[in-house]
Amino acid sequence: MEVFEQHESVVRGYCRSFPVLFDTADGSYLNSADGTRYLDFFCGAGTLNYGHNDPDMVEACIDYLRRGGLLHSLDLYSQSKAQFLRAFHARILAPRQFDHKIQFTGPTGTNSIEAAIKLARKVTGRHAIACFTGGYHGMSLGALAITANPAKKQSMGVQVPGVIRLPYDGVHLQDVATQLQMLEDMFCRPGYGNDLPAAFVLEAIQGEGGINCASDEWLQGVAALARKVGALLIVDDIQAGNGRSGPFFSFESSAIVPDIICLSKSLSGLGLPFAVTLLRPQYDIWSPAEHNGTFRGNNLAMLTATVALEKFWQNDDLTQAVHAKGQQLRQQLQEGLSGLPIGAHIRGRGLMLGIAFDDDSFAKRLSAALFERHMVAETCGPASQVLKCMPALTMDTRDLLEGGERIIQVAHALSR
Ligand SMILES: *Cc1c(COP(=O)(O)O)cnc(C)c1O
């Protein structure tokens, strides 16, 4: 580990929670250089929904490289882009009757967010962006400005005006109708003094914020409010999308149709950097090359994304499997943790589950103790008070139950 301490910036983070040297990975396992297998309940924060190194995606990459497939091409027309566009339309957009255009942004989630808020400002001619408590949208300046976490924002260095922070569903304990009325008052009642926003930006399930789910009614209300005040609705589905909660998009049960949808993390399927911003066609008003970038539409990632779409999204088998596995894990955890001396509260949807404990420091200690038992599970929430359970959607039942059992046993051992 000396090489990292000696040469890598102190900004490194996850490696401090999981300090071993990793070398290979397969399916639901990360393998350290000394051959220890770690069961992965984190999946790169939702980047590995189909597990590590899916053999069909790896094979496609090897073939592509062997035949001299184009790797870097700016945003030139490429065979892999054509195939991705066709597959994404056929497997994801058309079945949902979505008519969104696909914008390739720089390769990480935050790039997709920047494009979204920039376009919303251009469309509306407004500056303010309405965002929510607990929201996490990335580390570049615009995305960071609308992110809630103060520890991440302390080094922002400049002030970014025009951010209106609103309470997320459930933060104030009123019923949904009262919460929605409060939100509407903020913009529609005289005397509140808020600028009308260019957009409302939200996660339908907050990942970093602590696995908080918005109700369908609340999402519908925010969508209606956005329409009423002439703002765009941007859903950041970077972590919760790609089937993590069951359906491809996390907001599908609400039947809302966001004006802009941000996707990244699991989109490539293989963990390669790749992001897109989906735009309703009437808002696709960019001038050519107005939002540019050297690494947009990484060809290898478009290739593996296409394999993922054809392999997992031809029917709703994966969605059904995620519902069933999520139910199974939730029930196992609920029963197994019910006897703990401290309260454990399970939240989330599909295989995007979180466990909040009555003692805020417990999740952090649990994550560390699980790592000693060769399991990777991270924490989330503003005080790292929630243990995240995000196994691969493709994890087999035996590994899933094994992971659940380890969490239960270690939690009991720790709380004794
Ligand atoms: C990870 C994440 C981002 C940022 O993506 P990066 O690839 O890290 O830039 C934005 N929004 C959500 C919800 C995320 O989980």
Cα-to-centroid distance, 238 and ligand 1 (Å)? 6
Of all atoms in ligand 1, which is nearest to the CA of residue 237? 13
For 407-410, the CB contacts below 8 A with 24+ separation are 407/41, 407/333, 407/336, 407/337, 407/355, 407/366, 407/370, 407/375, 407/377, 408/332, 408/333, 408/336, 408/337, 409/373, 410/366, 410/369, 410/370, 410/373
Express each pLDDT in 298-320 by its tens digit.
999 999 999 999 999 999 999 99
Question: With contact defined as beta carbons under 8 Å apart, do 226 and 233 qualify?
Answer: yes
pLDDT at 78: 98
User: Ligand 1: does its nearest atom lie under 6 Å from the Cβ of 114?
Assistant: no
CA 65 vs. chain centroid, Å, equals 29
* Banded model confidence at residue 349, pLDDT cuts 50, 70, 90: very high
User: Ligand 1: does its nearest atom lie under 6 Å from the Cβ of 28?
Assistant: no
User: Ligand 1: does its nearest atom lie under 6 Å from the Cβ of 239?
Assistant: yes
Express each pLDDT in 11-32 by its tens digit.
999 999 999 999 999 999 999 9
Determine the Cα–Cα distance for residues 196 and 165; give it in Å rounded to an integer: 13
19: Cα within 13 Å, side-chain hemisphere: 11
| Mutation choice for ligand 1 from 111, 144, 239, 245, CB with most ligand atoms inside 8 A | 239
* Banded model confidence at residue 69, pLDDT cuts 50, 70, 90: very high
pLDDT at 174: 83
Q: What is the mean pLDDT of the chain?
A: 97
Of all atoms in ligand 1, which is nearest to the CA of residue 108? 7
Express each pLDDT in 103-112 by its tens digit.
999 999 999 9
User: Ligand 1: does its nearest atom lie under 6 Å from the Cβ of 108?
Assistant: yes
Q: Return the percentage of the chain with pLDDT > 70, whole number.
A: 100
Where are the chain's structural domains?
A: 2-53+317-415, 59-312
User: Ligand 1: does its nearest atom lie under 6 Å from the Cβ of 138?
Assistant: yes
CATH of domain 59-312: 3.40.640.10
* Banded model confidence at residue 173, pLDDT cuts 50, 70, 90: confident
Domains 2-53+317-415 and 59-312 alike in fold = no
* Banded model confidence at residue 1, pLDDT cuts 50, 70, 90: confident
Cα-to-centroid distance, 379 and ligand 1 (Å)? 16
The single residue listed with the structure tokens 């989630």 is 109
DSSP annotation string for 225-247: HHHHTT-EEEEE-TTTTTTTTSS
User: Ligand 1: does its nearest atom lie under 6 Å from the Cβ of 47?
Assistant: no
Report which residue type is found at 343.
G
User: Ligand 1: does its nearest atom lie under 6 Å from the Cβ of 132?
Assistant: no
What's the topology of domain 2-53+317-415? Aspartate Aminotransferase, domain 1 (3.90.1150)
User: Ligand 1: does its nearest atom lie under 6 Å from the Cβ of 203?
Assistant: yes
Cα-to-centroid distance, 252 and ligand 1 (Å)? 20
Q: Is this structure's pTM higher than 0.95?
A: yes
Cα-to-centroid distance, 208 and ligand 1 (Å)? 9
